[in-house]
C-alpha cells in the first residue's frame, strides 16, 4: 500500500513565560562510538576522516566537500564523483535505516544523470573500493562492450535517484551491454527511483568476469508519471525472473530532481528533496526494503516493503538472455557510499545531512518555538518524539522515551561535552533541560534578537531506560533541531501559557 503523508509545518509556536524548578544532577555527554548511530552534515567544507574518494571509471573523481554539502558533480558533461564512508562499518544483522537531503539542480532542463546511494560489503579492503560505470550507471552498475567498466565491488544494494532514466534500462549496443528492465516499459522513462541488487559472481570470459554481471534491477518507479498511469512501477518477481508492472495511483506526481539554480534550504520550498531508506530483516532471510521521498513538505512511500531475499532470479543481457540465479545473501557488515554522474545532459548533484540508525531507533522531529527578548521561556520539544517498545507488535509512543538519555548537540550534530545540571550557555543565551520532565527552557542573552538554535538526540527504553534493545546506544535517534524565534513582536505584552499536547504527532518512519 502506498502511503501519502503531509508534514505539519505549523510546528509548536509557543509562548510559555512560567519558570520551572529543574532537577539537579550532573549529566555527562558521551561521545558516539563506531557503528550506529551516525550523522554527518557534510557542510563543514572539510572531508570527514571516514570518507574516502574512490576511483572512478576513466574520469577524475569530481566529488568536493563544500560548505553547502557534498557536491558529487558540477554541471559539466560526462563527469562522475563518489565517496564511500570506508572507515565507518555498520553491522547488518538487525537491518539499517538511513536518510539524507539531496539537491539536483543548476543544469539542463532535462538534466542527467542522477545520484546513487549504495550499501557495500564492509569486508572489502579499502584499497580495492571503486565506483562502477559513469553516466546512467550512476557509479554502481557495470557496462560490457567497447566502453567496458566493472561495477561497484562488494555491491549489495544500490538506490538510484535517476533524473534521466538510464539506471533502470537494458542496453544492447556496441559500446554498452547491461541488464535491466526486460519485457515492459515504465509509464515515463525519466525521473525514476530505482533499486538494483548485488554484484554478480559469474566467470564467463571474455567479459563476464565477476563485476561484469549481476546488479539486477529490482524495482523502479516513474515518479513524474500521472498517478493514473499503467506500469508506473515495476518490480522483479525474484522467483521467476520476470518483471511485473503495477499502477501505483496513490503516489503524487513529482520529479526526482530539484530544479532551479539554488539549493532548497528547507521544506517550505517545493524543490526540497529528502530520501529515507529502511531495510528490515525478513524472517525468511534478506530484507524488506522501504523507500520514501520527501518533496517539499510532502513525504511519500515510493517503494513499500519490497522483499529482497537471499536468492534472486534475473535475466542477464547475453545473446541468449538467460535467466540466472544470483546469491544475494547480505554481508555481515555494510559500508555506505554515494556517487553521481553526468553524460550528454548535466546537473549539479549534492547531498547533505546523512543520518544512519537502526530500524526502530527513537524518532524525533524538529521544533520551532517563539520567545521574547530577555525572558526565560519553557517548552516541551519531546512531545512530537517517540520511541519503540515490545517486539510483536512493536509500539511507537512518546511514553517510551527515556528523558535521562537526552543529549545536547551542536549545530553540526556533535555531542556538546561537559554539560552540568542540564545547562548549556552559548552566545545566544542559556538552555536548561530537565531530566525529570523532558522540558527545555531558553533565556536569551542580553540584547539577543533572532533565532536561537540547538540540537539534541535521545533514546528509548521506557521512562526508566531499561527496556532492551531500545535503550542501547545503537537505537539512539538522529539529531533534532530546536529553534526559538526571539522577537519583541511575539505578543510579549501578554504573559500566557499555551499547551502543545494537541500537536500532530511525528510521522512514523
- Per-residue pLDDT band for 175 (boundaries 50, 70, 90) equals confident
Cα–Cα distances in angstroms (integers) from residue 322 to residues 200, 212, 313, in the given order: 14, 15, 10
Closest by CA position to 138, among listed 208, 212, 195: 195
Q: Are 230 and 248 in contact (CB under 8 A)?
A: no
Q: Are 306 and 296 in contact (CB under 8 A)?
A: no
pLDDT at 494: 52
Please compute the mean of the pLDDT values over residues 142-170 and round it to a whole number. Answer: 94
Q: Which three cell numbers stand for residue 246?
A: 503495477
How far apart, in whole angstroms, are the C-alpha atoms of residue 405 and residue 27?
Answer: 9
Q: Which three cell numbers stand for residue 313?
A: 532470479
- Per-residue pLDDT band for 507 (boundaries 50, 70, 90) equals very low
pLDDT at 179: 95
Q: Are 96 and 119 in contact (CB under 8 A)?
A: yes
Report the share of the chain in percent with pLDDT over 90: 82
Reply yes or no on whether the pLDDT at 221 is more than 90: yes
Residue with the larger pLDDT of the pair 323 and 23: 323
DSSP code per residue over 370-417: EE-TT--EEE-GGGG-BEEE-SSS-EEEGGG-EEEEEEEE-TTSPBPP
The whole-angstrom distance between residue 52's C-alpha and the CA centroid of its chain comes to 19
pLDDT at 22: 29
pLDDT at 320: 78
Contacts of 21 (CB under 8 A, 6+ apart): none
Q: Considering the entire predicted model, what is its pTM?
A: 0.89
Q: Are 64 and 9 in contact (CB under 8 A)?
A: no
Please compute the mean of the pLDDT values over residues 273-299 and round it to a whole number. Answer: 98
Check whether the bond before 14 is cis (ω within 30° of 0): no
Reply yes or no on whether the pLDDT at 478 is more than 50: yes
How far apart, in whole angstroms, are the C-alpha atoms of residue 364 and residue 456?
Answer: 9
Q: Which three cell numbers stand for residue 8?
A: 505539519
Closest by CA position to 16, among listed 259, 371, 307: 371
* Domains of the chain with bracketed CATH: 4-33+359-486 (no CATH), 38-93+102-356 (2.60.120.200)
Is residue 127 classed as helix, strand or coil in its secondary structure? helix
pLDDT at 206: 80
How far apart, in whole angstroms, are the C-alpha atoms of residue 27 and residue 417?
Answer: 10
Closest by CA position to 405, among listed 455, 450, 464, 445: 464
Please compute the mean of the pLDDT values over residues 4-33 and round it to a whole number. Answer: 34
Q: What is the mean pLDDT of the chain?
A: 89
- Per-residue pLDDT band for 174 (boundaries 50, 70, 90) equals confident
Q: What is the pLDDT of residues 264-279, one digit of tens each?
A: 999 999 999 999 999 9
Q: What is the pLDDT of residues 323-360, one digit of tens each?
A: 999 999 999 999 999 999 999 999 999 999 999 999 99
Amino acid at each position: 500500500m502506498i502511503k501519502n503523508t503531509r508534514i505539519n509545518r505549523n510546528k509548536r509556536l509557543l509562548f510559555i513565560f512560567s519558570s520551572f524548578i529543574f532537577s539537579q544532577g550532573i549529566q555527562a555527554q558521551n561521545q558516539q562510538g563506531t557503528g550506529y548511530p551516525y550523522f554527518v552534515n557534510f557542510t563543514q567544507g572539510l572531508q570527514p576522516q571516514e570518507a574516502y574518494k574512490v576511483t572512478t571509471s576513466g574520469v577524475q573523481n569530481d566529488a568536493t566537500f563544500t560548505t553547502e554539502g557534498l557536491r558529487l558533480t558540477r554541471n559539466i558533461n560526462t563527469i562522475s564523483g563518489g565517496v564511500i564512508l570506508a572507515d565507518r562499518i555498520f553491522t547488518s544483522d538487525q537491518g539499517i535505516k538511513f536518510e539524507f537531503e539531496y539537491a539536483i539542480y543548476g543544469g539542463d532542463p532535462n538534466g542527467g544523470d542522477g545520484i546513487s546511494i549504495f550499501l557495500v560489503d564492509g569486508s572489502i579492503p579499502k584499497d580495492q573500493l571503486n565506483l562502477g560505470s559513469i553516466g546512467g550507471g550512476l557509479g554502481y552498475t557495470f557496462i560490457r562492450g567497447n566502453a567496458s567498466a566493472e561495477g561497484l565491488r562488494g555491491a549489495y544494494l544500490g538506490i538510484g535517484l535517476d533524473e534521466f532514466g538510464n539506471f533502470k534500462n537494458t542496453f544492447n549496443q556496441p559500446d554498452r551491454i547491461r541488464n535491466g528492465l526486460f519485457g515492459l516499459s515504465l509509464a515515463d522513462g525519466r525521473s525514476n527511483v530505482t533499486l538494483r541488487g548485488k554484484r554478480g559472481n559469474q566467470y564467463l570470459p571474455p567479459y563476464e568476469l565477476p563485476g561484469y554481471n549481476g546488479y539486477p534491477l529490482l524495482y523502479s518507479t516513474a515518479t513524474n508519471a500521472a498517478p493514473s498511469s499503467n506500469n508506473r512501477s515495476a518490480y522483479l518477481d525474484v522467483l521467476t525472473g520476470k518483471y511485473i508492472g503495477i499502477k501505483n495511483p496513490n503516489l503524487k506526481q513529482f520529479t526526482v530532481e530539484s530544479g532551479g539554480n539554488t539549493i532548497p534550504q528547507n521544506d517550505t520550498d517545493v524543490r526540497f528533496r529528502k530520501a529515507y531508506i529502511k531495510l528490515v530483516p525478513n524472517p525468511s532471510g534478506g530484507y524488506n526494503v522501504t523507500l520514501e521521498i520527501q518533496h517539499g513538505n510532502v513525504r511519500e512511500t515510493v517503494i513499500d516493503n519490497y522483499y529482497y531475499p537471499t536468492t534472486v532470479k534475473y535475466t542477464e543481457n547475453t545473446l541468449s538472455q538467460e535467466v540466472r540465479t544470483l546469491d544475494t545473501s547480505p554481508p555481515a557488515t555494510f559500508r555506505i557510499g554515494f556517487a553521481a554522474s553526468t553524460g550528454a545532459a548535466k546537473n549539479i548533484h549534492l547531498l547533505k545531512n546523512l543520518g544512519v540508525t537502526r530500524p526502530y531507533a527513537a524518532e524525533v522531529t524538529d521544533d520551532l518555538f517563539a520567545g521574547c527578548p530577555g525572558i526565560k521561556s519553557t517548552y516541551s520539544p519531546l512531545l512530537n518524539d517517540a520511541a519503540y517498545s515490545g517486539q510483536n507488535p512493536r509500539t511507537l509512543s512518546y511514553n517510551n522515551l527515556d528523558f535521562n538519555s537526552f543529549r545536547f548537540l551542536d549545530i553540526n550534530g556533535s555531542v556538546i561535552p561537559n554539560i552540568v545540571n542540564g545547562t548549556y550557555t552559548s552566545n545566544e543565551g542559556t538552555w536548561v533541560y530537565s531530566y525529570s520532565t523532558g522540558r527545555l527552557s531558553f533565556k536569551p542573552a542580553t540584547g539577543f534578537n533572532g533565532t536561537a538554535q540547538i540540537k539534541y538526540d535521545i533514546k528509548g527504553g521506557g521512562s526508566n531506560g531499561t527496556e532492551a534493545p531500545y535503550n542501547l546506544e545503537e537505537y539512539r535517534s538522529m539529531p533534532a533541531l530546536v529553534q526559538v524565534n526571539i522577537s519583541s513582536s511575539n505578543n510579549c505584552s501578554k504573559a500566557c501559557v499555551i499547551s502543545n499536547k494537541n500537536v500532530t504527532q511525528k510521522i512514523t518512519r
